[in-house]
Structure 1
Amino acid sequence: MRRNLDGLLFPRSVAVVGATPIPGKIGNAVMQNVASFPGPVYAVNPKYSEVLGRPCYPSIAALPEPVDLAVIVIPAEGVLPVLRECGEKGIKNAVVISAGFKEVGKEGAQRERELVRIANEYELNVLGPNVLGLISTRVGLNATFAPRTALPGQIAFMSQSGAFCTSVLDWAWKEKLGFSHFVSLGNKAVLNECDFLAAFAEDPETRVIVAYLEGIQDGPRFMAIAREVSREKPIVVLKAGRAEAGARAVSSHTGTMAGSDHAYDAAFRQCGVIRARTVEELFDFAYILSRQPLPKGRRIGIVTNAGGAGVMAADAAEWEGLSVARLREETLQALAQKVPEEAAIYNPVDVVGHATLEQYQTALELVLADPGVDLGVALSAPHPILRFADLARVVSQAQRTAGKPVAVSFMAGELGEEAEAILREAGIPSFFDPARAVRALAILAKYAEVRTRPKDPPPVFPVERERVRVLFAEARRRGRVRLGLEAMDVLSAYGIPVARGGLAKTAEEAGRFAKELGTPVALKIVSPELTHKTEVGGVRLHVRPEEADRVAWELLRSLRNRFPEVQIDGVYVQEMLPPGREVILGMVRDPTFGPLLMFGLGGIYVEVLRDVAFAVAPLSRPEAEELLELVRGKKLLTGVRGQPPVARAALVDLILRVSQLVAENPDILELDLNPVLCYPDRVVAVDLRLTVSEEDL
């Protein structure tokens, strides 16, 4: 459900509860800021009859009319009665600036739970508690206690950190960066990032949505909204907490390699969110996305009067996934006639240091006009003849004429106010570092691709769900939550191809199974406590059918003698398959986003090189295809050194079926298919490790 936040973001009237005439108090700072609001503003405080020249009312109930928004700045213990008063008065929106809730311990957490209950009872939109407040420049509202307000602009910003908000406001004022909305999320008791993401998407004054987040409350909801919004407006997020503070106990390969940050990376990629690594990137990306057009491709043109800067830009283009454009012959001929004889006319185009302003301008215009160039970067070092203001004017004109995105890197300590004003008016971002300029341009290319990504829904295969439910119920009845090869029927129920085999509880049964298979077999110990079979000597390979009973007897005796306290259920008898390309496919259940799939190449690639990629299930077919492309060793799947390619369609199908399995069965907590053997005509799961919840979910 999408909430209507118009009364919160675009109020027509505001009340400040806790307004005070005493300087230095937060209630005074908020009232000072709200006083500039052009609509009716009411002060509420039983201690005063007047605050800052306005009548002051003793309570919400005493107000002459219901306001659109109540801003609450009182001690925490008084907040709940005021919220109830708001509900009774018909006020539907509140900003609770007050601290003293779940961030301070058990008593505060209980108070916050009661706040949520009251909000639900009266259908209140509550921002906070424990927030700086919010700013909406479209209606002239500054409902914060920050010493600065926001300039008008097209960037909607939300932050989980109030202190970061004040820092950004101060910095943005100096940089003349404007915002449509500026929201401090605080404890997110009622409203969270999902609600504001949806609201900002519907605001015509907002072109880019930017967020600083330390966590997401509802991962699936966030992904659903972001998938839709990112096709219309870019979303840039700085997610803090990339490093894992500690490792949780897991039994699978996937679990040991999958951290929460992998889930955020995967989720953001899948729903089109651009992830910034630093504050600098956050606003570099936000600015260029809000001011420059999107490119049609990834081919960059580079024009410079300093050779080193051109080389740095070309290197950065490769790092950022851009290609240095190959200029047309007509462009090269025109450049040769217009620039100094010593100039390098092949991209990067270096017009050399003594080129005139007109020669620099001509080179830039020719490069941007080339049909093989999608975006451009203009570079310059400090020059005794060329003024940065003149260069800025030239670049701005060239960008307007070409209609292609451009960034500049004038490698100087200061450009001067005139140059900065010209570039700002044109919406052209300026950086000292050429690599930073190229990185910002690369984000434009990335977002252009986000807008055109396929909309395919996850496929739904016909499967035997009841069969899986019965298998898990039986495992729980026997006190088993960690399952191995004995649970291969779970895969079969979802149409996932598995090697033929079965569980033998005795050596004699193993012999019969082997003869029925009619091929050399692998014998693998089955025990809930010996999950790493090879390490404990629990595997025998290439066993002939006629020897299977003897080898099984020896294997069982050996393991039972070595591990007398360990439960051993028998041996799994499995057909021996020819060597194939090994891959691993696994899943762990992420607390924020749910089932997190991991795909990688097997053997040394996963154990040592950790060449793996992640995606949040359920996957669409294009997302499953993308997963194969994300591993560094992907060429091994397409065939190298005379080897044929693997059956890619079959591998994608297997990924999609596992995706459906883990999405439809939340009681699967961890899963490993390792290895899956890939051949030119098929793929086969050979080994399984699976953990289910102790109770049916």
Structure 2
Amino acid sequence: MLNKKLLNPKSIVVVGASNNIKTPGGRVLKNLLDHNFKGKLFAVNPKETEVQGLKCYQNITDIPNVDVAIIAIAAKFTLETVKVLTQQKNTKGFIIFSAGFSEKDAEGAKLEQQIVDEINLVNGTLLGPNNIGLINQNYAGVFTTPIPKLDKNGVDFISGSGATAVFIMEAAMTTGLTFSSVYSVGNSAQIGVEEVLEHFDETFDKTSSSKIKLLYIESIENPQKLLKHATSLIKKGCKIAAIKAGSSSAGSRAASSHTGALANSDVAVDALFKKAGIVRCYGRNELITVASIFTLPQLKGKNIAIITHAGGPAVMLTDALSKNGLSVPEIKGKESEELLSKLYLGSSVSNPIDFLATGTAEQLETIIDYCENKFDKIDAMAVIFGSPGLFEVYDVYDVIHKKMKTCKKPIFPILPSVINVKNEIDYFISKGNINFPDEVLFGNALAKTMLDKKVTSIEKLNLTTNNQLIRNIIDISENGYLQPQQVRELLIAAEIPLVNEIVCNTKTECISAIDLLQFPVVMKVVGPIHKSDVGGIILNISSKDALVISFDTIMKIGGATSVLLQPMKKGTELFIGAKKEGDFGHLVLCGLGGIYIEVLKDIQTALTPISKNEAIEMIQNLKSYKIIQGIRNQEGINENEFAEIITKISNLVTIAPEIVELDLNPLFGNSKEIFAVDARIRIEKN
């Protein structure tokens, strides 16, 4: 929990205050003065007696007790300053702008930790160091500009980067997006993005708290805390959008299994955001656009009317919406003909509704009224209106403003002429409105917000006799890939359906095994990890002679220790995998199996624990889902059984967190049953 004095101080000291407003200490003092901090302000600078009209103290020991200290001095002086403030001045809130700590070197990290230790002793809160500060309804404790318009209904914004926070605020202000608070966490020495989100969760008030949270994250230090509090806030009615920087595959480490190669930390971020209900964004403007959509009434359906006086942007918006699963349905019938008669010759109402560059504000109002009251299939309107610069469009924007306030269907204003009608757009925004200057960015963002963001209710694990059996197998196993018999025992304990198999060390054992398995059989090498890569799989063995020849062939493969025999089965090849991804926990993946997992990379991923509903959603979101359903007279897969196995794998890795990689590849499936025919499991203890 953040200390209350940091959030609503009665007094603030700026250590390193200056008359030069081009320095951090000078600018933050000016921001505090200009934005009406109502408490007492103190300044400390050994070289000044007055700073920006305030009495200036030469020594920190001379100031009265103070709630918050904003420190803008060299790193080497900060520890002693903090000690005086914590031990003598009853200070509980600290914002440290100074750089030169953990981001610099080991010595800086040590100094940073000493500062945190001092603040922890008095149950204080530190933002930073190496940050730009804090803005909320009570004060503007930042050394940057601009200070955005503050509104209790605006967005709460937490950023791991001070510069990025500034750039996002600048861009947001031009679109009309307002802020309730801005937290820059810098080095996150004590308080990071997760802790600020935790604070928002634990202090949330449905009547007064902002219901929109934006995050810019460079490193997720505590994924489970982020998941917990994001989930909680969304359940309380909040909407969250986030950028997680550093998503390139170049940072992924090499892995020995299919699952390891497909699952990496960025996949884990996607899975975490999806589980929580966070909308993931990949750039500043996308984040702002999603947040702006959040401020408007929620879209209830997928049918959008595009109202425009310019054909090109309407076409591009139509493409963006259609490609993302939204619809721009044709409008026809008596009402559409009636509307067309009220517009200039050459207009079109089929959707997009194009009322030409010469269209008037009165015509726009009529079109909106028809979409609102007479076109039942329409769920929302996107109004595109700019100007070639020949005339003012205040009257058009007045109509959009009025209709946004009175219509039940959402209206999204796309006003692209940010130069020609800058004054009119500023006027429109000054009335509390949002502008979407780019139609394609808007269309893509709208689709993201339309995805189902309901938080999944996780089914608790049922502790059974099998749980202890699983633990026993893990406890007696050594690190590394488990032997085939261990893998089989573990999967049986987890109730995963398996094809019958026998491990054979000699030709004689192979011949004896046929009495149980019956021809035809498949023979696989035991030893090498990727069997198909080394020619270690021989299919459709139908005679004893072929069995013997196959044994000799397989055993010549480098690393071969024995062979594994299975009855030859047919069905659609499926894949389920699991991987432990650091503090995120386990990822479970599913898709089509065999070589398709590598070629198509059509997978869905979720963080454990996984409910049955989540598993079904994973399956249905696969691009290859039509194959699973059955297509062109091909038999489909038992979808319910597939989902059951996914949840059982989720349970298995939850019971046995030592499992770091697990592959069921392939499983063979049909409409009646699914069974694993090849599996490998790697464990790491401690």
Aligned to 2:525: 525
Deviation at residue 593 of structure 1 after TM alignment: 1.7
Q: 1:601, 1:633 within 8 Å by CA — same for their partners in 2?
A: yes
Q: 1:407-446 counterparts in 2 under 5 A?
A: 407-412=412-417, 414-425=419-430, 427-446=432-451
Structure 1 counterpart SS, 2:249: coil
The equivalent of 1:357 in structure 2 is 361
Match of 1:250 among 250, 255, 266: 255
- Equivalent residue, structure 1, for 2:538: 540
- Out of 249, 254, 274, which is 2:279 matched to? 274
Aligned partners of 1:212 and 1:237 also within 8 Å: yes
AA partner of residue 537 (structure 1): G
Equivalent residue number for residue 42 of structure 1: 42
Aligned equivalents of 1:604 and 1:572: distance in 2?
A: 20
Residue 11 of structure 1: SS of its match in structure 2?
coil
> Could you tell me which residue of structure 2 aligns to residue 144 of structure 1?
142
Residue 309 of structure 1 is matched in structure 2 by 313
SS at match of 2:103: helix
CA distance in 2, matches of 1:420, 1:532: 61
What amino acid is the match of 1:638? Q
TM-score by length of 2: 0.90
1:19, distance to aligned residue in structure 2 (A): 3.2
Q: Please give the per-residue CA displacement for 1:220-253, whole angstroms capped at 9, x wherever unaligned.
A: 1111111121242221212222213344221011
SS in 1 for 2:637: coil
Partner of 1:264: 269
- Give the structure 2 partner of residue 396 of structure 1: 401
Query: 1:503 — aligned with what?
Result: 503
Q: Contact (CA 8 Å) 1:219, 1:592: kept in 2 or not?
A: yes
- Mapped contact 2:70–2:95 kept (Cα < 8 A): yes
Task: Confirm whether residue 12 of structure 1 aligns to residue 2 of structure 2.
Answer: no
- CA 1:401–1:47: 2 relative to 1, 3 Å: closer
Q: Which amino acid aligns with 1:626?
A: E
Residue of structure 1 in register with 2:72 after alignment: 73
Give aligned pairs, total. 675
- In 2, Cα distance between the equivalents of 1:170 and 1:352? 33
The residue identity in structure 1 corresponding to 2:217 is: L
- Out of 650, 656, 660, the residue aligned to residue 641 of structure 2 is 650
Q: What is the alpha-carbon distance in structure 2 between the residues aligned to residue 663 and residue 331 of structure 1?
A: 59
CA offset digits 1:22-78 (Å, max 9, x no partner): 66543333333334421122334566665444445566665433x332222232233
The more displaced of 355-364 and 207-216 is 355-364
SS at the partner of 1:303?
strand
- How far residue 108 of structure 1 moved from its aligned partner, in angstroms, is 1.4
5-14 or 616-625, which deviates more: 5-14
Aligned AA for 1:223?
L
Q: Distance in 1 between matches of 2:9 and 2:484?
A: 59
Deviations 1:271-330 (A, max 9, x none): 11112222111112222322x111212221112233443332221211232112455856
**Secondary structure in structure 2 of the residue aligned to 1:467:** helix
State the 1:491 CA deviation: 1.5
Residue 652 of structure 2, aligned match among 661, 664, 669: 661
**Residue deviations 1:65-103, cap 9 Å, x none?**
3x3322222322333344344443543322122212111
1:104 aligns with 2:104: yes
Pick closer, same or farther for the CA change 1:18–1:380 going to 2, 3 Å: closer
Q: Name the amino acid aligned to 1:220.
A: Q
**Please, which of 305, 321, 324 is the counterpart of residue 320 of structure 1?**
324
Shift of 1:524: 1.8
Give yes or no for the alignment of 1:366 onto 2:370. yes
Q: 1:487 matched to which residue of 2?
A: 487
Q: Is 1:573 the equivalent of 2:575?
A: no
Q: Which stretch of the first structure deviates more once superposed, 658-667 or 643-652? A: 658-667
Partner of 2:212: 208
Greater Cα shift, 505-514 or 180-189: 505-514
Tell me if structure 2 keeps the 8 A contact 1:647–1:680.
yes
2-structure distance, mates of 1:51, 1:355:
57
- 3-state SS in 1 of match to 2:214: strand
CA contact (8 A) 2:522 2:538 kept: yes
Residues of 2 paired with 1:51 and 1:463: CA distance? 73
Q: Distance in 1 between matches of 2:564 and 2:188?
A: 51
Question: In 2, are the aligned partners of 1:328 and 1:372 still within 8 Å (CA)?
Answer: no
2:28 aligned residue: 30
User: CA 1:434 to 1:53, structure 2 compared with 1: closer, same or farther past 3 Å?
Assistant: closer
Match of 2:617 in 1: 626
SS at match of 2:477: helix
- Separation (CA, whole Å) in 1 of partners of 2:428 and 2:49: 51
Quote the Cα distance in structure 2 between the aligned partners of 1:87 and 1:509.
77
Whether the 8 Å CA contact 1:406–1:441 is kept in 2: the answer is: no
* TM-score, scaled to structure 1: 0.88
Within-5 A mapping of 1:337-356: 337-340=341-344, 342-356=346-360
Cα–Cα, structure 1 residues 408 and 26, in superposed 2: closer, same or farther, change >3 Å?
closer
Amino acid at match of 2:564: Y
User: Cα offset for 1:131?
Assistant: 0.9
Contact in 1 for aligned 2:177/2:288 (Cα 8 Å): no
**1:218 offset after TM fit, Å?**
0.6
Q: Write the distance in 2 (CA, Å) between the matches of 1:301 and 1:76.
A: 57
Q: Is contact 2:309-2:384 (8 Å) kept?
A: yes
Tell me which residue corresponds to 2:157: 157
One-letter amino acid of the counterpart of residue 93, structure 1: G
CA distance in 2, matches of 1:312, 1:491: 51
- Over 3 Å counting, the alpha-carbon distance change for 1:295 and 1:173 in structure 2 is closer
Say whether the 8 Å CA contact 1:200–1:209 is kept in structure 2: no
Flag the 1:175–1:544 CA change in 2: closer, same or farther, 3 A: closer
1:286 counterpart residue number: 291
Alignment CA distance shift 1:34-1:239 (3 Å): same
- In structure 2, relative to structure 1, the CA distance for the partners of 1:75 and 1:481 (3 Å cut) is farther
* 1:256 Cα offset (Å): 1.6
Instruction: Write out per-residue CA displacement over residues 156-191 of structure 1, whole angstroms, 9 at most, x where no aligned residue.
Output: 222211222333444455556432111211111111
Give the direction of change, closer, same or farther, for the CA distance of 1:51–1:482 in structure 2 (3 Å limit): farther
5+ residue gaps, structure 1, are: none
Q: Is the 8 A contact 1:430 1:437 kept in 2?
A: no
Asked if 1:471 corresponds to 2:476, the answer is: no
Once the two structures are TM-superposed, the CA of residue 362 in structure 1 deviates from its matched residue by 0.9
Contact preservation (8 Å) 1:213, 1:239? yes
CA 263–194 in structure 1, closer or farther in 2 if over 3 Å, else same: same
Change (3 A) 1:47 1:431: closer
1:458 and 1:327 mapped to 2: Cα distance? 49
Q: Which secondary structure does the structure 1 equivalent of 2:383 belong to?
A: strand
| Separation of aligned partners in 2, 1:22 and 1:339 | 60
Q: Deviations over 1:412-433 (max 9, x none)?
A: 3535245314532455443454
2: CA distance between counterparts of 1:142 and 1:637?
A: 56
- Following TM superposition, by how much is the alpha carbon of 1:385 offset from its aligned partner in structure 2, in angstroms? 8.4
Is contact 1:460-1:660 (8 Å) kept?
no
CA 1:76 to 1:412, structure 2 compared with 1: closer, same or farther past 3 Å?
A: closer
Q: Which moved more, 1:20-29 or 1:96-105?
A: 20-29
- Aligned residue for 2:190? 190
Compared with structure 1, are the counterparts of its residues 692 and 646 closer, same or farther at alpha carbon in structure 2 (3 Å cutoff)? same
Quick one: percent identity of the two aligned structures? 30
Q: Return 5+ residue gaps in structure 2 as ranges.
A: none
Cα offset for 1:674? 0.5
Q: Quick one: distance in 2 between partners of 1:329 and 1:426?
A: 37
Contact 1:511–1:545 at 8 Å: present in 2 too? Answer: no
User: Structure 1 residue 671 and structure 2 residue 662: aligned?
Assistant: yes
Aligned AA (1:542):
N
Distance 2:499 2:271 in 1: 30
- Equivalent in the alignment of 1:131: 131
Q: Does the 8 Å CA contact 2:175/2:434 hold for their aligned counterparts?
A: no
CA distance in 1, matches of 2:391, 2:488: 73
Q: Helix, strand or coil for the counterpart of 2:250? A: coil
8 Å CA contact 1:150, 1:182 repeated in 2:
no
Q: Are the counterparts in 1 of residues 45 and 56 from structure 2 also a CA contact under 8 Å?
A: yes
For 2:3 and 2:342, how far apart are their aligned partners in 1?
Answer: 57
Instruction: Call closer, same or farther: CA 1:520–1:668 in 2, change over 3 Å.
Output: same
